[in-house]
Amino acid sequence: MDTTDKQKKKPPQKPKAVNTAWVSLITVISFALSVVMSYISNEALASAGTILSFAVLLLFIALGIVFDMIGVASTSATEKEFHSMAAHRVRGAREAVWMVRNAEKVSSICNDVVGDICGIISGATGALIVAHITSGVSAGLKVAVSLLITGLVSALTIGGKAAGKGIAVMCSGKVLALCGRVLSVLPLKLDNRK
């Protein structure tokens, strides 16, 4: 029996369930993004009043919703809709194809990394707003304001993401085309092979 027969009889290898290199990279990215976003949030809120604190809170909630939409769109879209655009050299089409081909990674970064960090920071910002509003008031009022702000943050985040997911699924091509255009002007090198 020659070596070619031996190679043919080998069972096909299954892909690894956990890509340790990707997990390591995403962990480092998560840490770095979390530190940077927390620092920006803390600096913006250090001497901010209640209104500016609310603006920062809404910004982080909106950021979480937008990135959640991008993650969902990347898993909903198909490559086919961008091939014609890429053939005609439409700006952002190659990047959109890359996002579809790497939907698992794009979804992980957008939904898990950025989405979770925005959720944590918006929770911390909400706590800071409660502290601003309730300084020098009774304990009962503190609890009521705390519950109100927590409920507001949760409702805006969950409601916004629910609406965003519907838009992302129905308009996945448009969402990724826009993201592709943004990525095309950034100094990133995306490999379209996978």
Q: What is the pTM of this model?
A: 0.78
What pLDDT shows up at residue 6? 52
Q: What's the sign of the alpha-carbon dihedral 170, 174, 177, 181?
A: negative
Q: What's the sign of the alpha-carbon dihedral 89, 95, 101, 103?
A: negative
- Please say whether the beta carbons of 141 and 134 come within 8 A: yes
What pLDDT shows up at residue 108? 87
Regions of the chain with pLDDT less than 50? 1, 194
